Amino acid sequence: MLKFFFLLLAILFNIASADDYLFTFCSNSKNYTRNSTFENNLKQLLVSLPSNTSVTGFYNTSIGDHSSDQVYTQALCRGDVNSTICQACIEKAGQHILEQCKREDAIIWYELCQVRYSFQRFFSSMIYAGKYIDLNDNNEEIISDRVRFREVMLFLMNSLSYEAAYDPSKRMFVTGEVKYSSKETIYGLVQCTRDISNSSCDNCLKSAIGDLKACCSSRNRGIIVSRNCNVRFDLNLFYNASSSLLAYPTSKDDQKIELALLHDIASPTRVAITQEGELVSSVEPFFMDLATIRSATDEFSDSNKLGKGGFGTVYKGVLPEGKEVAVKRLSRKSWQGLEEFKNEVILIAKLQHRNLVKLLGCGIEGEEKLLVYEVLQFTFTHDSMNLDISIEFSDSERRSQLDWKTCYNIIGGIAKGLLYLHEDSRLKIIHRDLKPSNVLLDQEMVAKISDFGMARIFCENQNMANTKRVVGTYGYMAPEYAMEGVFSVKSDVFSFGVILLEIISGKRNSGFYRTEHAQTLLAYAWRLWCEGKVLEFVDCILMESCWTSEIVRCIHIGLLCVQEDPEDRPNMSSVVTLLGSESIALPEPKHPAFAVARFIQIDEFLETIPSINDLSLSSISPQ
């Protein structure tokens, strides 16, 4: 009981009061005129703020009929204070800012609240400019192991900032603690103004934590305040809110990667459904320990091996609760493997769609980098296995069990998955390595795009990008990407067109030059199209079950997708529309890419490279 009493005293001693003033920022805007309409409006709003803010802890409003007298105000109370303390703090701050500043734009911070006003609208906008607050003169650099302290402190603050930005239930305010040593705990707090977006809150907190690292990573406490967010840590408990105890990862390398992933995933659990029911519930990926994954895959036994790619091997596994999964074990010594691991986790966590493979979890421990996916089962025999369409369309026995309807649905599924990546998700994603082995099939033969290690995010208004490091797979890269390093949504459209033509013909574009038909599958399709013999392009197995007009239309769409000029290719929304409607007229295709002599020189060059299928693409080296 006595111990509890002293603990309570310590908490009360460190908890701030409404009178704990921090700082006032008066901008370089002009002074407002004494007794002007602007000043009267400002005073009126400041009087109304305390009671209105105390209801929810946040409030903004404006007043004024003309631009010269308009005033915008905003107030925020720290998330751990009650309405009485909140109201008292806002009232004190409102009075204080009038005394301290006569500018038309200003903000004042107390430990428990902040008040801001301006002559121009600032609601919902985030412009970061952080201010370090020196809390007292005794804040000495007393940390002995500064490196470890900085890492643990940043782990705490980054973890809290992710939760504040993307967990709606937190209302952009989170506290937490982590053990720094057996005797010391670091306490942390982060908060954003609730008028900004999740991503703006995330960006603001990232910047503030960066400033916190610069000023205070060897101090026993630190605080950064800004217009839209505030962050603080202390070795003494300073808040009055329930908080979670975080466990600091034991491996420094694991911690760095997990923090980067945790901070960049930015994907709250959610459920979203389109009119066609295409979107699925999104469950945030979680970190799994190596022992669990080793046990699930029987120590990565060869009997559980499903396949091998350029960056690692895929194993079938069974989790302790009986759930079947596919585990991708990335190459242990590959830097490319590490980059692919981080890229894939971050991207797939943000993307959820019926035609995209679902990431269930991930693990990082030492040199081990593991991705855990839903297992996609399809049974042609009595064995369950992860199946990709490259297996389907190269295995004559299995292909003989396919009909046109199934193939048509697979084509449509790939198209819808790409459309989601390009236009319908909250990000604009370019896959960059779309090929048959990266399209998996589930038990109902639903196509699911996988392998996002090479994918890239585009800004909302960005149409293309250029890279000196071309990555991808020979036979599926658009010419502008293979030759010049330029990629866009249209380069993915090209890859889709190649896959579509491969599905219909039952033949691979890669290695097609060894046949007597043409230098490429695309050139062969174009020749038959021009000669009016396009049905000769269709696999005889599909001819038995297809509608002639429908399959010819699909070939037509495929040729449009593989045009030499990216501008001549349709976007994926047009492709999905064209696949779903026979009434829409199609433009005449032109010469497809790689249907000319210059491609022969590349083929001749590639023939000199040994073990061509085992190479990763760097510059123009096929995988």
Report the C-alpha gap between 72 and 341 in whole angstroms.
Answer: 46
In the residue annotation, 433 being an active-site residue is answered as yes
- Annotated binding site: which residue ranges? 328
pLDDT of residue 522: 92
102 phi-psi bin (left φ>0, alpha ψ -120 to 50, beta other): alpha
pLDDT of residue 262: 53
Q: Kindly list the distances between the CA atom of residue 449 and the CA atoms of 95, 235, 361, 374, in Å, as whole numbers in the listed order.
A: 59, 47, 17, 12
**CA quadruple 51, 54, 55, 59: dihedral, nearest 10:** 80
* Active-site pick, 105, 211, 388, 433: 433
pLDDT of residue 571: 96
pLDDT of residue 19: 65
pLDDT of residue 603: 33
Report the C-alpha gap between 11 and 238 in whole angstroms.
Answer: 7
Q: Are 22 and 111 in contact (CB under 8 A)?
A: yes
pLDDT of residue 72: 96
Residue 469 is classified by DSSP as: S
- Annotated binding site for ATP: which residue ranges? 328
- Residue among 324, 420, 427, 315 at smallest CA distance from 371: 315
Report the C-alpha gap between 148 and 217 in whole angstroms.
Answer: 10
Output the pTM of the full model: 0.53
Q: Are 449 and 434 in contact (CB under 8 A)?
A: yes
pLDDT of residue 129: 83
For the chain, which domains are there?
10-123 (3.30.430.20), 146-248 (3.30.430.20), 251-375 (3.30.200.20), 394-614 (1.10.510.10)
Q: Are 256 and 342 in contact (CB under 8 A)?
A: no
Q: Are 223 and 132 in contact (CB under 8 A)?
A: yes
Beta strands (DSSP E) in 193-291 are: 221-225, 229-234, 244-246, 286-287
Number of H helices, E strands in the chain: 18, 24
Successive 10-residue mean pLDDT values, the chain, 623 residues = 40 51 90 92 95 95 86 96 96 95 94 95 89 65 78 90 86 92 92 93 91 86 94 94 71 53 45 36 60 88 78 82 85 56 71 84 76 64 38 54 86 95 85 88 86 79 77 83 90 96 88 64 93 91 82 96 95 94 90 54 31 28 28
Report the C-alpha gap between 444 and 164 in whole angstroms.
Answer: 39
Report the C-alpha gap between 159 and 174 in whole angstroms.
Answer: 10
**Tokens at residue 590, please?**
């032109």
